[in-house]
Structure 1
Amino acid sequence: MVEMKEIARIAGVSVSTVSNVLNGRKNVGQATRERVLQICKENGYIPNTMRKKVKIDKNKTILFIFSDFDRDFYLKIFEGVSDFLAKNGYDLIICTNKSSAKFMRGKFADGAISLDGSLTDDFLISVAKPGFPIVLMDRILMDEHGNTKSVVVDNYPVMCEMMQVLVDKGYKHFGYIGGHEYTLDNTERFAGFIDTLSKNKITFDHKKYFYGDYREKSGYQAAKIMILSNELPEVLICANDNMAIGAIRAFEENNIKVPEDIAVTGFDDSVRAVIAGLTTITIPRYESGYLAAKELLDLMDGSANKEPLKLTATINWRMTVK
């Protein structure tokens, strides 16, 4: 936490002047008083013993930042965030990465929840402060100042579990469509995939790794390339549902039956996955949003455990796997 001497340094005054301001003494000029209080607000500093004597207003507003609007994916997360904040008297501003820097550097809100892979670690560390903490839902950030907290899905163990069941079913030839390589989700999901194959002494042909971007079109294009190669795997593992649905569409257009000719799995358990009968991994999206909001308010009042909160996911077996 920022100490009183740091507030004094930023304000260009003595520690005793800061103390006088916080104790409500009248021997400090109005301009200096206002400057010190503003710096305290911006840095989240106010001693517990002074909370009743000094009033630093709160906006009671939280930012939710995301990079790509996929209504189905974000809707439940929004709902969880909104429900918790509403119960605690906070408003919610939703913004995309194009406007997030402006909002995060301004005085619009008291904190932020970020699900935006385009924001760099350095940027997030630079804007996170005791008076403006940030909860991250897409990465684990090493922040020595303790102004951030991560709430993420524990992708690795559930991917290992699904892969082991597929191996036990007799599948040996696998393909994989990954998402953005820099994301924690893709890294952990592929690690679970490859580690389970290695554990079972199954060699993965990296020519059957296809690069996607979590959108349906990339899954469709990857499947078309597989079809043209005339070397379909027995089962195609996709890093999310959108890409799996795109791949299934390409297979259907070419009279390739799922799961008879090729099995397909996804990750996320979207509404479209249910309609498609897609075997996938269910992540607790509403709960993740609710808990992210809770952890943010805990950060704001200093009661948060700074360790990452990892949420458990479960497998939902459906028709796309025999």
Structure 2
Amino acid sequence: MAAGLKEIAKIAGVSVSTVSNVLNGRINVGQETRERVLQICSEHGYFPNKMRNKEKSDKSKTIVFIFSDFDRGFYLKIINGLSDYLTENGYDLIICTNKSSENFMRSNFVSGAISLDGSVTDDFLISIAKPDFPIVLMDRIIKHENANIKSVVVDNYPVMCEMVQVLVDKGFKRFGFIGGLEFTLDNIERFAGFTDTLAKNNITFDRKYYFHGNYREKSGYQAANIMILSNDLPEILVCANDNMAIGAIKAFEENNIKVPDNISVTGFDDADMAAMAGLTTISIPRYESGYLTAKELLGLIEGTTSKEPFKLSATIKWRNTVK
């Protein structure tokens, strides 16, 4: 017999109300607790009664949002956008981690999914995305004739080209780049916009100034320290996201290297900390991306939208880290 709500709470070492908050997608629960509760629910086959009742109905009105990187603050804005649109249209939202996502997606308790989780494979998504179970992706584009999949992604390339062109026009010639995870669509498009614009201006990008990161602040900090130890800094460091840019700036400051007097730095995302740090960056409308993604998913459910990718535009925020 599957465990009940009280048993799940006891196993997780939390209150019954905390388990209820997690399963109803409320955001007033800590990340570690949320992940632990969802994992225990999956392992013991527990789902809320209202979801069990929906299994018997023709159409569930619950959507699952899958993500895995709790370190990046903009997820909260995306979740707010998702929640607002779904609530306006009578849908419930469940927030799920990658550890328990497969159980939710293979069940009849949800009628569609939104995924922002690089650990979920293309093959799995294609196998799950059926006519009666659409999926919208926020981190990649998959086009498959037999899969009910749509993508809502940032149009990284043109805005990166625009920013780098302005930097070239300002007189910068020696560029550095800290990339994110290389297989991600964001990193591929951002780096392509960067290198293509340099090439268009007959500026050769020296690969010794390319540093690998993982979108987290620590990787930017480490990359900057490697640059400092090499005694060979670029004039400007373009980072594939704000976290890495902030990490790099911290390393420079610790070594009395002034930004932007000694080196300029840019980011990408326009996270809250970017404005606080005066970081020049590219602003992505995170709340709006969540809202539009939910809208596109319901469009797939209702058969009123196509599967063509939807690309979100972004804008440059010029601040104090570029000389």
> So what's the TM-score if we normalise by structure 1?
0.82
Distance across 2 between alignment mates of 1:184 and 1:304: 23
Q: CA deviation at 1:143?
A: 1.6
Count of aligned pairs: 270
Residue 223 of structure 2 aligns with an amino acid whose one-letter code is A
Residue 216 of structure 1 is matched in structure 2 by 217
Question: What is the rounded CA distance, in whole Å, between the counterparts of 1:78 and 1:249 in structure 2?
Answer: 29
**Separation of aligned partners in 2, 1:178 and 1:108:** 38
Deviation at 1:211, TM superposition (A): 0.4
In structure 1, what is the equivalent of residue 11 of structure 2?
none
**In 2, Cα distance between the equivalents of 1:69 and 1:194?**
30
Partner of 2:260: 259
**Sequence identity (%):** 76
Summarize the alignment of residues 77-92 of structure 1 with structure 2, pairs less than 5 Å apart. 77-92=78-93
Secondary structure of the corresponding residue to residue 150 of structure 1 = strand
Alignment correspondent of 2:69: 68
Within a 5 Å distance, the mapping from 1:120-269 to structure 2 comes to 120-269=121-270
Q: 2:269, 2:310 → 1: CA distance? A: 18
| CA-CA distance at 1:58 after TM superposition | 2.1
Q: Do the aligned residues in 2 keep the contact of 1:284 with 1:313 (CA within 8 Å)?
A: yes
Q: Aligned runs of 1:17-96 on 2, under 5 Å? A: 56-70=57-71, 72-96=73-97
Which residue does 2:307 correspond to in 1? 306
Q: Give structure 2 stretches of 5+ with no counterpart.
A: 1-53
What do you get for the CA RMSD once the two structures are aligned?
Answer: 1.3
Establish whether residue 284 from structure 1 lines up as the match of residue 246 from structure 2.
no
Distance 1:309 1:71 in 2: 23
In structure 1, list runs of 5 or more residues that go unmatched. 1-40, 43-54
1:141-165 alpha-carbon deviations (Å, 9 max, x no partner): 0121250100000000000000000
Give the letter aligned to residue 82 of structure 2: V
CA distance in 2, matches of 1:184, 1:279: 22
Q: Following the alignment from structure 1 to structure 2, what is the Cα–Cα distance between the partners of residues 266 and 113?
A: 26
SS, match of residue 170 in structure 1: coil
Contact persistence 1:151–1:310 (CA under 8 A): yes
Cα distance change on mapping 1:291 and 1:129 into 2, 3 Å: same
Determine whether 1:115 maps to 2:112: no
Pick closer, same or farther for the CA change 1:284–1:207 going to 2, 3 Å: same
**Partner-residue secondary structure (3-state), 1:298:** helix
Give the letter for the 2:295 counterpart: K
1:106: how far off? 1.5
Taking the aligned partners of 2:134 and 2:197, their CA distance within structure 1 comes to 37
Cα-to-partner distance string for 1:207-231 (whole Å, 9 max, x where unaligned) = 1110000000000000000000000
Measure, in 2, the Cα distance between the counterparts of 1:109 and 1:56.
11
Once residues 118 and 189 of structure 1 are traced to their aligned partners in structure 2, the CA distance between those partners, rounded to angstroms, is: 20
Q: Which residue identity is paired with 1:84?
A: Y
C-alpha contact (below 8 Å) 1:146/1:306 kept by paired residues: no
Cα pair distance change 1:179/1:71, threshold 3 Å: closer
2:102 aligned partner, one-letter code: A
For 1:114, what is the secondary structure of its paired residue? strand
Cα distance in structure 1, aligned partners of 2:226 and 2:74: 27
Contact 2:127 2:147 survives alignment (8 Å): no
SS where residue 164 of structure 1 aligns?
helix
| Cα shift at 1:56 | 4.9
**TM-score calculated relative to the size of structure 2:** 0.82
Measure, in 2, the Cα distance between the counterparts of 1:267 and 1:174: 16
Greater Cα radius of gyration, structure 1 or 2: 1
Assess if the C-alpha contact under 8 Å between 2:283 and 2:316 holds in 1.
yes
